[in-house]
Chains A and B, each alone.
Chain A
């Protein structure tokens, strides 16, 4: 037995290998993690994939134009010396133009694919994503992984809109809600979070800019923690904001009330109120509350005009014993529903160190 082992070792160690030593299966396939879909000419779709590097090669971008989703994978595989596998697909980016045309066909194909899991982060891209990826790959190889980590991080943290395939489809199929996706802009070679894209059915109809994205987060989530809420219009930055949203209906569902409770601290203040005087603070809080109420109300009116319900307020009409509106009834009712927004702001702390301001006499340090 020992002799056999020695012999086997001798053969193995002798280095009589051919031109291509035996490789593992994993080295013969390319499990991609990033896919980008863009609208091509003549109702085709351009799919771009980041092909991971195995051993000493460089990462590459592969692009094909095809009419159907699976056709693109077929073409990609034939364009490359390794078989393309999508079992590791974690990121799906969609160009804004394509999102405006509707994406459900592409998405359904992904859902049906048993290799792909529904924990697939999705985002809309405004700008030239392909050249962004190209330049990034040259500079830092792991860009696809870094992007994935970013999505994961904010999914847990909850400051941004992060949506995966499953959540998108849940909201798509539910008659009481409409899907949303984060939207990113490419500007000067940078990928910038640019707010939330709102969908009607599977089409992008409007996007909330980054500066007002917090409003969507307030209304959309039942509870949420925000590290910072900058309100430059009011010269204030709120910090460590914990928001709790409650939705009630009054007058037999003829009136919706959105109650928002914000608890946080003042992180930065450049306004001219004296925060050491309670009455001025109360004044400022009232002013901020009115301001937020107005802004939120404006947005909700916008959604109603577009007949979308991205914050799934419709779900709240359901209760164990009652379903006051069927799906289509709710869609009609929602457009005309008067909504009142009430914001309650609780500032636990006005900043640890009160800035000493050189004002015209009225300020005491």
Chain B
């Protein structure tokens, strides 16, 4: 025990262990669920849209297959050095530079959307900056414990947030549920907005692509795919469940009018000893945001190191702190200048859906393909 206490930051970062393989499914599942769960039913609206979720889940399943092929290559297991081997130093630095932008953008938009929910439903009189800073501090604290702890934290995030599904089970029962709201479950004529909905749901399944850079963190990568696929399936079930209950409760026409059905539906629950259950529920989702941002702080730190060519120097606590400050201050300025009007927010959200949809589609296949080509070339020689 004294050893663990005296371990300094550098040593802790250097002596990191590994994630067990089964952690894959929890990380995938929680990373996909983050925030999307709150508004997805509002996007889908019509009963027949339910088919989009399994269709996209299958596509995502295939994509995870590609991801696990990449993760099994030896380049992926090498981490930073592997990328340099694969793409060359300059390309890696260029891509890392783009990655910084993507990470900052994604984490800001997801965090700020979540904070808006907090602001609207829980603390309308509180400044939006306070929870932002508190969230940043929590994520930083978690990030400081090292990448392995961040990964293990996914278990906590799962335990703390998954039980909330149980609250919603009552909405499947009559009185509250009107089963006719689910009909007709097959489209009667040519459905509209199907492409934009496909994109949204695809983006809602995004997130696991960040595991592509964490290849060396897993204890082993054989059998990893099965766990990733399990996480993906759990996400699909969760999305379907939430879509069905909101639809049963509201019906398509009413659902259109409600921005955050998953939050609003909780307001209907009445417990004899407690009201306003959404207070607990909404703040519980914070744990997912903390998990996500802690992971992003590490990624950001690594990306900055790569761009600045500091890869060979040892990791330091100071560097991580700087990365965290960079992330939080970017969020702050972003929220101050670009995230004010609702129309702006909607534009950014659309942009975000495109970006995360694109990264999820491109990163695994790109990496797997380059690794395949390189190995083939080597074999030919």
> Is B one of A's binding partners?
yes
Complex contact B178–A315 (CB within 8 A):
yes
Name the A residues within 8 Å of B181 (CB-CB): 174
Name the A residues within 8 Å of B251 (CB-CB): 170, 173-174
Name the A residues within 8 Å of B267 (CB-CB): 117-119
Tell me how many residue pairs across A and B have CB atoms closer than 8 Å. 54
Complex contact B257–A173 (CB within 8 A):
yes
Query: Chain A residue with minimal CB distance to B120?
Result: A114
Task: Indicate if A320 sits at the interface (CB-CB under 8 A).
Answer: yes
Complex contact A170–B254 (CB within 8 A):
yes
Name the A residues within 8 Å of B180 (CB-CB): 176, 315-316, 318
Report A172-220 residues with CB < 8 Å from chain B CB: 173-176
Task: Indicate if B8 sits at the interface (CB-CB under 8 A).
Answer: no
Q: Interface stretch among B105-113, B183-191, B295-303, B332-340?
A: B183-191
Complex Cα–Cα for A139 and B354 (A)? 65
Complex contact B253–A174 (CB within 8 A):
yes
B-contact 0/1 string along A329-340, CB 8 Å cutoff:
000000000000
Task: Indicate if A271 sits at the interface (CB-CB under 8 A).
Answer: no
The smallest beta-carbon distance between B256 and chain A, in angstroms, is 8
Complex contact B268–A173 (CB within 8 A):
no
**CB < 8 Å neighbour of B275 from A117, A174, A321:** A117
The smallest beta-carbon distance between A16 and chain B, in angstroms, is 33
The smallest beta-carbon distance between B271 and chain A, in angstroms, is 11
Question: Which of the listed residues A117, A170, A175 has the most CB atoms from chain B within 10 Å of its own CB?
Answer: A117
The smallest beta-carbon distance between B165 and chain A, in angstroms, is 21
Report A286-306 residues with CB < 8 Å from chain B CB: none
Task: Indicate if B347 sits at the interface (CB-CB under 8 A).
Answer: no
Query: Chain B residue with minimal CB distance to A172?
Result: B254
Complex contact B254–A319 (CB within 8 A):
no
Report B237-272 residues with CB < 8 Å from chain A CB: 250-251, 253-254, 257, 264, 267-268, 270
Question: Which of the listed residues A118, A173, A222, A327 has the most CB atoms from chain B within 10 Å of its own CB?
Answer: A173
Known contacts: A117-B268, A118-B268, A173-B253. The answer to whether A321 contacts B186 by CB under 8 A is yes
Known contacts: A114-B124, A118-B267, A318-B180. The answer to whether A174 contacts B254 by CB under 8 A is yes
Query: Chain B residue with minimal CB distance to A223?
Result: B174
Complex contact A323–B188 (CB within 8 A):
yes
Task: Indicate if B374 sits at the interface (CB-CB under 8 A).
Answer: no
Complex Cα–Cα for A320 and B120 (A)? 37
The smallest beta-carbon distance between B119 and chain A, in angstroms, is 10
Complex contact A323–B270 (CB within 8 A):
no
**CB < 8 Å neighbour of A319 from B174, B184, B257:** B184
Interface residues on B, range: 20 to 34
Task: Indicate if A355 sits at the interface (CB-CB under 8 A).
Answer: no
Name the B residues within 8 Å of A169 (CB-CB): 254
Report A56-98 residues with CB < 8 Å from chain B CB: 87
Name the A residues within 8 Å of B370 (CB-CB): none
The smallest beta-carbon distance between B162 and chain A, in angstroms, is 25
The smallest beta-carbon distance between B239 and chain A, in angstroms, is 20
Known contacts: A117-B267, A117-B268, A119-B270. The answer to whether A323 contacts B184 by CB under 8 A is yes
Complex Cα–Cα for A323 and B186 (A)? 9
Complex Cα–Cα for A318 and B186 (A)? 11
Complex contact B178–A170 (CB within 8 A):
yes
**CB < 8 Å neighbour of B268 from A119, A316, A318:** A119
Name the B residues within 8 Å of A175 (CB-CB): 253
Query: Chain B residue with minimal CB distance to A88?
Result: B275
Task: Indicate if A322 sits at the interface (CB-CB under 8 A).
Answer: yes
Complex contact B121–A170 (CB within 8 A):
no
The smallest beta-carbon distance between B173 and chain A, in angstroms, is 13
**CB < 8 Å neighbour of A87 from B182, B257, B276:** B276
Report A221-253 residues with CB < 8 Å from chain B CB: 222
Query: Chain A residue with minimal CB distance to B267?
Result: A117
Complex contact B121–A114 (CB within 8 A):
yes
The smallest beta-carbon distance between A309 and chain B, in angstroms, is 13
Task: Indicate if A263 sits at the interface (CB-CB under 8 A).
Answer: no
Complex contact B254–A173 (CB within 8 A):
yes
Complex Cα–Cα for A327 and B264 (A)? 25
Task: Indicate if A166 sits at the interface (CB-CB under 8 A).
Answer: yes
Complex Cα–Cα for A169 and B178 (A)? 13
Name the B residues within 8 Å of A321 (CB-CB): 184-186
Name the B residues within 8 Å of A119 (CB-CB): 267-268, 270
The smallest beta-carbon distance between B160 and chain A, in angstroms, is 23
Complex Cα–Cα for A320 and B184 (A)? 4
Complex Cα–Cα for A320 and B188 (A)? 11
Complex Cα–Cα for A119 and B315 (A)? 54
Complex Cα–Cα for A324 and B257 (A)? 25
Name the A residues within 8 Å of B268 (CB-CB): 117-119, 166
Complex Cα–Cα for A87 and B180 (A)? 32
The smallest beta-carbon distance between A161 and chain B, in angstroms, is 15
Name the B residues within 8 Å of A320 (CB-CB): 182-186
Complex Cα–Cα for A201 and B346 (A)? 31
The smallest beta-carbon distance between A152 and chain B, in angstroms, is 9
Name the B residues within 8 Å of A166 (CB-CB): 268
**CB < 8 Å neighbour of A318 from B183, B254, B275:** B183
Query: Chain B residue with minimal CB distance to A323?
Result: B184
Query: Chain B residue with minimal CB distance to A118?
Result: B268
Complex contact A322–B184 (CB within 8 A):
yes
The smallest beta-carbon distance between A119 and chain B, in angstroms, is 5
Report B177-217 residues with CB < 8 Å from chain A CB: 178, 180-186, 188
Known contacts: A114-B124, A117-B268, A118-B267. The answer to whether A170 contacts B250 by CB under 8 A is yes
A-B contact pairs, 12 of them (CB 8 A): A117-B276, A118-B267, A170-B250, A170-B251, A174-B254, A175-B253, A315-B180, A318-B180, A318-B184, A320-B182, A320-B184, A322-B184
Rank and list the top 9 A-B pairs by shortest CB-CB distance, nearest first.
A318-B183, A173-B254, A315-B180, A173-B253, A323-B184, A117-B267, A323-B188, A320-B185, A318-B180
Other than A87-B276, A117-B270, A166-B268, give 13 A-B pairs with Cβ distance below 8 A.
Answer: A114-B120, A118-B268, A170-B251, A173-B251, A174-B253, A174-B254, A222-B174, A318-B180, A318-B184, A320-B186, A321-B185, A321-B186, A323-B188
